[in-house]
Amino acid sequence: MGETSQPRVSVVIATFERPALLERLLRQLADQDLDHSAFEVVVVDDGSTEAAAPRVSALGLDLDVRVHRQENAGAAAARHRGVLAARGELVVIVDDDMQVGRDFLSQHTREHPPGSRRAVLGAILPPPDLDRMPLFERWHQKLLEDFAARAAQPGTRLRGNELYTANVSFRRADYLGVGGFDPSLERSEDSELGLRLEQSGVEIGFSPSASTVNGSDHTSLAKWRGRAVRYGRYDVIIARKHADIPHASPWRHFAPGSRVAPLLKVGPSTVPFVANLAAGTVYAISSAADRLGMKGVAYRGTGVTFGIDYYRGLAAEMGARAMIADLSRHLKTEDGGSAPAPGQGNLARLRAEIRADYEQNRATDAKYGKQTMRGRLLGDSIQKIGLQMMIAIRMMRYFRDSPVPFAAKIASRTIRHLYGSDVHWDVEFEPGVVISHGMGMAITGGARIATGCILAHGITIGMGIDPDTREVGAPRLERNVHVGPGATILGPIVVGEGTKIQAGALLTTSVPARSLVLAPRSEIRGRDRTPAENEAGAEAAPVRALPRS
């Protein structure tokens, strides 16, 4: 086991009581097509009865692998220790029961071009002997396959709480930047990490090529049901911790307008004895259907079983009465405040975003000493053209997620004719964005505009190609970026929080937070210029950091 000086990739494996499966995975990692000098393997033995280090050493693999042992503290603590010990810029976390192909690491590496901020989920494929696995494991594998099919669709935007750590890669700096795993969470620690990564601006991506094969050895129905209960408990804790993130809600699993599913799953969960009996009965019926070859019925019943146990965990953490009250509040809104499902309207989100834009307009006017906002949304939107435009854009986004998404394209063309602005229906506007005047704007699909940004008239936020990586993409403006009239921002760049872009400036490279982007210098007219003046006039727009207050 040789040790490299500075590998680019660190593979982190948390292991507990799986020596044979760990050995299998390490042998497959030793057979990667990625040069061995480019990666290391960090194994964290989470208090296994038989220490992992001697068995790993006995394998004699030509691999840079280090084993750390700790008292049993759970998967989150073990993985966190592994990331802390990692030396690579890129971290790949894989479960010890997975199997990987020869190109596993090279595929993950390709998903992280220089300058990107991504957490990439790899596909988890079924094992060849899937039919021999328990029904609950086959049901879970179907969920993974359904997720993969959705995630691979062009334009799909994954949420932070969809992150899983059975097969994922991210930059170590991004992980440390949000504080890493919360070791107090016994379940859903990966989705909670994903929420913080998402909030920090990390994109959650998916790669069907960076795949593993599910080699789960779970066979205990009682343990599976116990995990479902714990998922419910810890999802409540996470929802409290991230109360400002709508899709952190444990009710996010209900489709908008759903009423039957809550009654089937939540109703029995309010009484522990009834919940245990109901879940057990449904699973027994599902197993019988499975033996008869009725796979659809078997999988749906298994999902109901998991749901009853999951909401039993919610009731245990919240209290049955509080849980029913919380569900009632959820059902009174069109979608409970969760992220919109494809093809579903989202009036609650639309109203909230328009209100946030309006309040940000008022705050901006007050900051600059204006008295244009009088406190009534309808009247002020008639008076303020930029607010009108923002409402029109919100309506366009609403139509995009409605049962008639083609209406979003019609709304986009309407905005073009009314305001002379070409705004794509796939632009991501966080709540609380201000448009000043707004005429003559051009904003490409895929651009992301964060809360607090102020966009002036005549600006271009467009698609472009990174001159170094050749990556094609659109800009991302972080919070409180001010874009002056006529400014142009191009390419897959990040404009740091609090940056000010001067009128007429051209920006094609990422800039850090609190930068000042200046416009190109003016020509000297009325006399011949000196060579030095010619050179100065040809300089591109400079960027400098603003002094911190």
Same domain, 192 and 50: yes
Residue 396 has pLDDT above 50, yes or no: yes
Evaluate whether 442 touches 455 at the Cβ level (below 8 Å).
no
End-of-domain residue from the set 406, 440, 474: 440
- What percent of the chain is predicted at pLDDT more than 90? 58
Number of domains in the chain: 3
Residue 516 lies in a domain: no
H helical segments located in 204-340? 221-241, 260-269, 272-291, 295-318, 320-332
Residue 313 lies in a domain: yes
Average pLDDT for the chain: 85
- pLDDT band at residue 9 under the 50/70/90 scheme: very high
Q: What pLDDT score was predicted for residue 537? A: 45
Same domain, 21 and 149: yes
Residue 338 has pLDDT above 60, yes or no: no
Q: What are the residues facing 543 on neighbouring strands?
A: 517
Same domain, 106 and 19: yes
Same domain, 213 and 253: no
Note every long-range contact of 383-387, with CB atoms under 8 Å and residues 24 or more positions apart, other chains counting: 385/419, 385/437, 385/438, 385/439, 386/361, 386/434, 386/435, 386/436, 386/437, 386/438, 387/357, 387/358, 387/361, 387/435
| pTM recorded for the entire structure | 0.60
Residue 331 lies in a domain: yes
Residue 100 lies in a domain: yes
**d(C-alpha 543, C-alpha 511), whole Å:** 8
Residue 423 lies in a domain: yes
Buried b (16+ CB within 10 A) or exposed e, 93-115: bbbbbbbbbebbbbbbbebbeee
Higher pLDDT, 396 or 449: 449
Higher pLDDT, 71 or 525: 71
Angle separating helix axes 272-291 and 135-151, nearest 10 degrees: 80
What does residue 287 show for φ and ψ, rounded to 5 degrees?
Answer: -65, -40
End-of-domain residue from the set 420, 440, 460: 440
Residue 389 lies in a domain: yes
Residue 450 has pLDDT above 80, yes or no: yes
Same domain, 292 and 373: no
Same domain, 248 and 182: no
Q: What pLDDT score was predicted for residue 395? A: 84
Residue 400's contacts (CB-CB under 8 Å, 6 or more residues apart) are: 408, 425, 426
End-of-domain residue from the set 339, 357, 387: 339
- Per-residue pLDDT tens over the stretch 15-45: 999 999 999 999 999 999 999 999 999 999 9
- pLDDT band at residue 86 under the 50/70/90 scheme: very high
Q: What pLDDT score was predicted for residue 502? A: 94
Q: What pLDDT score was predicted for residue 264? A: 57
Residue 540 has pLDDT above 50, yes or no: no
Q: What pLDDT score was predicted for residue 332? A: 64
- Per-residue pLDDT tens over the stretch 474-505: 999 999 999 999 999 999 999 999 999 999 99
Same domain, 95 and 194: yes
Angle separating helix axes 135-151 and 221-241, nearest 10 degrees: 40
Same domain, 192 and 286: no
Q: What pLDDT score was predicted for residue 28? A: 96
Buried b (16+ CB within 10 A) or exposed e, 297-323: ebbebbbbbbbbbbbbbbbbbbebeeb
Evaluate whether 190 touches 196 at the Cβ level (below 8 Å).
no
Residue 226 has pLDDT above 90, yes or no: yes
Same domain, 326 and 348: no
Domain containing 156: what range? 1-219
Same domain, 32 and 177: yes
- Per-residue pLDDT tens over the stretch 354-372: 889 989 988 888 887 766 6
For residue 36, the domain's CATH number is 3.90.550.10
Region 70-80 average pLDDT = 93
Q: Which of 77, 66, 90, 60 is nearest to 16 (CA)?
A: 77
- pLDDT band at residue 145 under the 50/70/90 scheme: very high
Residue 7 lies in a domain: yes
- Per-residue pLDDT tens over the stretch 149-194: 999 988 888 999 999 999 999 999 999 999 999 989 989 999 999 9
- Per-residue pLDDT tens over the stretch 102-127: 999 999 999 999 989 999 999 999 99
Span of 105-109, 324-328, 520-524, 543-547 with lowest mean pLDDT? 520-524
- pLDDT band at residue 304 under the 50/70/90 scheme: confident
Higher pLDDT, 240 or 257: 240
Residue 3 has pLDDT above 60, yes or no: no
- pLDDT band at residue 463 under the 50/70/90 scheme: very high
Is 525 buried (19+), middle (13-18) or exposed (0-12) by CB count in 10 A? exposed
- pLDDT band at residue 344 under the 50/70/90 scheme: very low
**d(C-alpha 520, C-alpha 488), whole Å:** 12
- pLDDT band at residue 65 under the 50/70/90 scheme: very high
Residue 314 lies in a domain: yes
Same domain, 419 and 289: no
Q: What pLDDT score was predicted for residue 346? A: 59
Which amino acid belongs to residue 38? Answer: A
Residue 337 has pLDDT above 50, yes or no: no
Residue 2 has pLDDT above 50, yes or no: no
Residue 539 has pLDDT above 90, yes or no: no
Residue 255 has pLDDT above 60, yes or no: no
Residue 381 has pLDDT above 80, yes or no: no
Q: What pLDDT score was predicted for residue 163? A: 95
Same domain, 23 and 131: yes
Residue 427 has pLDDT above 80, yes or no: yes
Number of Cβ atoms within 10 Å of the Cβ of 242: 18
